[in-house]
Structure 1
Amino acid sequence: MATAQLGTQTASTTLRAPRVFSIDVFRGLTMVVMIFVNNLASVKGLPWWTYHAPGKVDAMTYVDMVFPAFLFILGMAIPLAVEQRLSKDPSHTSLWKHIALRSISLLVLGLILTNAGAGDPALIHMPPGLWAILALLGAILFWMVYPQAETHKNLVKALRLTGLALMIVMFAIFRRTLKDGSVAWIRTAYPEILGLLAFAYLTTCLLYIPTRRWRWAPFLWLIPLTVFCALCCAHWIEFPRHAGLYLWPFGNGSDTLISMAGVATSTIFVGAQSHRWPTFRSKATWAVGFAVVTLIAALLLTPLGISKIRATPTWSLYSVGSSILIFTLLYWICDVRHHTRWAAFARPAGSNTLLTYLLPDLWYFAISLLGITWLRTHFAWGMPGVIRAMVFTACIIAVAAVLTRLKLRLQL
């Protein structure tokens, strides 16, 4: 998954391959851009391409490519994680159990974030910001990778159980008031980005793992996924708006399509099948060719629209083609030329991604709880707002770097 630590690739021979720096760098850079654009979203008076394109407009901006980049790097991590896990434990039952638990964990985190501001203070008996902080604190305690865990087993077990209990209590007491005055529990219709990553991870594994020994399988899977996405966008296939992902986790196929493209790219560069392309020239040739095919397919499907909000196949394939080209460049810089120092600022976000992802939300919940509105009402227009977003991003990345250095990290 995108937030997992990749570490090193482990082949079936149990030999460890060198660390693929470009994967961490790509993930870290994506995280940096995500934090920046999320903070920039509240700034007014900027060019249209600095925001998400409206759902009714056939257009996409660089902001619309951030989430697909997460999906793409999630897919790239899957072959490495699967081979590493099977090399330690060849049981496919254990593998699928791990995939299911990881998917559920991401979904739980997504539901916390998407419901954070919806709680009714009178019904949950606390401010929504405090509810969100306590729920995330429980998640952090439960999924923390504790230093020296083997020497403090009882303490670590107690902390994990405390975190789990805290999450259960927060979910149990949550209530929200609907527009008609009725009371409801957790909203599940939109599971936030982490929840969408959970469904993409699960569905990509469902397709990839049974066919992983066939070198061309990830590439071939892209064909039915693209066709299915096109048919959904053309309204030839319809799914219920509410609970759709829970009944059919593939959705319209766009997220799985992007993630599977990451699997295919991993096959070229770093997967167990990558020896088929022994030199960087051969890898780059196939990768660039792959990118060109996806970009041409995106162009041909333009009549179906270009929109992140509508998850059209053109948006998906343009994002895939761009991600392939960006990763190819990063692979050449970081793993062929071994120039990695320039990306040091992004490495903590790439190796400790889940905790870094939660830090901005924890900050927003904290200042909301404290009633601080100054930062929201000042530096919220034009270039001062851009500077504010840059400073905020730098601060979050710096905190993530400190926490990573202190060996405080989350891993599902």
Structure 2
Amino acid sequence: MTTQIDAPIKSVATRTATTRLASIDILRGLTMTVMIFVNELAGVKGLPWWNYHMKADVDAMTYVDMVFPFFLFIVGLSMPLAIAGRLRRNPSLPALWMHVAVRTAALMVLGLILANADGGDAGRMMLPPALWAIVALMGAALFLNEYGESPRYATLHRWLRVVGFALVVVMFAIFRHAQGRAGWRESGSWLHFSYPEILGLIGYTYLAVALLYIPTRRWLWAPFAWFAMMATLNAVTAARWVTFPQRIPYYFWPFSNGAMASIMFAGIVTSVIFLGAHRWQSPARKTVLGISFGVLSLVAGWLLTPLGISKIRATPTWSLYSVGAAVLLFTALYWICDIYGKTRWAFFARPAGSNTLTTYLLPDLWYYILAAAGIHYFETRFGYGWAGVSYCVVFTAFILSVSALLTRGGIRLRL
């Protein structure tokens, strides 16, 4: 679907839930930009405390701690549009659930590659860990790339996917852990599943939210109720009134303590407010609803501060503050980008917003290429102070530029 970037206010007001807003891609692209920057900044020392993730034993949060919640929020924001579009193309519910399962599995596989690569045993695998990661990621890219529907190259595209799938299977089969890595199992053991990296966490949360949202998607009130229920689960878990979510692995209880699911449901609520088929269709009324939801989330987070403020502990204040900030930012972008049609300022971020998975994997692929080549120049020369910050800015621009080039060249990974 295309977006009418320069459409007048009247056309925006009459859009339906099947329309995609420019503000969604721009919010996604801005989040990707900040993610690339802060991930690189994590290795730079000598900066003020608010440039880093807060430790688990500190009741505080920084802007860095809000990047992951924004990803969850954007997945929820896009989910009603994606599901409605898929059901229009194919109304089969079994096919929809198969898509959910495949997408979840793909996110988990990518997460496991990134989470385990650094701990590989080169001797047992007969491959350096960095090279193992490169081959595994390239295999995943071949499988997930959007090749188009040209019948002329259909056979080639099919074989590229088969080769990509086989590469991932072989890399997983040969993986073995190295010895002496803290938090890992014994030397020679297989993949470690306890932490599936950010992509895996998004995959588990996507599955959990889909289990609740898809059967109730026709009910306007359902996303609001599920959001409130997940936020409540988060609060009672943080208060230690219930403890079972902390003892059950993600693959048995993908809802975890409710924090991540509540953030994703907040994205669905925001999508319903701005794109839902309700009677409040004017931009002004949508804005009032959006701002009210954002402010109420911030107030609820403030009231729950006695339960702690921590990304690591996934406390309700962290999740609700992140929700409030995401909703208010999206509301502002809705007016700037969709009502007034001002989108050119976001030129640097839009390719990342439309080709997100490719952009997400590029920094990791770059790190593994440098590691495989034995290049440590950048981390030793730009690891402190403002020199490090400057390098992070340049690195972010470099990754965004590569993403834009790949997007123009037709390299686009889709789940």
Q: State TM-score, norm by structure 2.
A: 0.93
Q: Does residue 1:258 correspond to 2:263, yes or no?
A: yes
Query: What's 1:100 paired with?
Result: 101
Equivalent pair of 1:131/1:170 in contact (CA under 8 Å): yes
Query: What's 1:44 paired with?
Result: 45
Query: What's 1:354 paired with?
Result: 357
Q: What's the offset of the Cα at 1:231?
A: 1.7
Equivalent pair of 2:142/2:163 in contact (CA under 8 Å): yes
Query: What's 1:331 paired with?
Result: 334
Q: What's the offset of the Cα at 1:227?
A: 1.4
Q: What's the offset of the Cα at 1:19?
A: 3.8
Question: Where do 1:12-411 residues align within 5 Å?
Answer: 18-147=19-148, 149-179=150-180, 182-239=187-244, 244-271=249-276, 273=277, 275-411=278-414
Which residue type is aligned with residue 166 of structure 2? A
Quote the Cα distance in structure 2 between the aligned partners of 1:365 and 1:20: 35
Identity among equivalent positions (%) equals 55
Equivalent pair of 1:104/1:198 in contact (CA under 8 Å): yes
**Cα deviations by residue, 1:97-134 (Å, 9 ceiling, x for unpaired):** 11111001111000001011110011101100000000
Equivalent pair of 1:204/1:256 in contact (CA under 8 Å): yes
Equivalent pair of 1:189/1:243 in contact (CA under 8 Å): no
Partner of 1:410, secondary structure, is: coil
Partner of 1:291, secondary structure, is: helix
| Worse-superposed segment, 230-239 or 354-363 | 230-239
Quote the Cα distance in structure 1 between the aligned partners of 2:178 and 2:391: 34
**Cα deviations by residue, 1:61-92 (Å, 9 ceiling, x for unpaired):** 00000000000000011100111111111111
Q: What's the offset of the Cα at 1:383?
A: 0.8
Partner of 1:345, secondary structure, is: coil
Quote the Cα distance in structure 1 between the aligned partners of 2:145 and 2:383: 35
Cα RMSD, aligned residues only: 1.7
5+ residue gaps, structure 1: 1-5, 10-14
Equivalent pair of 1:178/1:184 in contact (CA under 8 Å): no
Equivalent pair of 2:76/2:264 in contact (CA under 8 Å): yes
Cα distance change, pair 286–200 in 1 and its aligned pair in 2 (3 A):
same
Quote the Cα distance in structure 2 between the aligned partners of 1:376 and 1:342: 31
5+ residue gaps, structure 2: 5-15
Cα distance change, pair 80–58 in 1 and its aligned pair in 2 (3 A):
same
Which residue type is aligned with residue 130 of structure 2? G
Which residue type is aligned with residue 321 of structure 2? Y
Quote the Cα distance in structure 2 between the aligned partners of 1:149 and 1:130: 33
Cα distance change, pair 241–313 in 1 and its aligned pair in 2 (3 A):
closer
Quote the Cα distance in structure 2 between the aligned partners of 1:178 and 1:369: 20
Cα distance change, pair 218–114 in 1 and its aligned pair in 2 (3 A):
same
Q: What's the offset of the Cα at 1:182?
A: 3.6
Partner of 1:46, secondary structure, is: coil
Quote the Cα distance in structure 2 between the aligned partners of 1:242 and 1:162: 38
Quote the Cα distance in structure 2 between the aligned partners of 1:240 and 1:19: 35
Cα distance change, pair 366–93 in 1 and its aligned pair in 2 (3 A):
same
Q: What's the offset of the Cα at 1:243?
A: 6.3
Q: What's the offset of the Cα at 1:277?
A: 1.9
Cα distance change, pair 99–41 in 1 and its aligned pair in 2 (3 A):
same
Q: State TM-score, norm by structure 1.
A: 0.94
Quote the Cα distance in structure 2 between the aligned partners of 1:60 and 1:127: 37
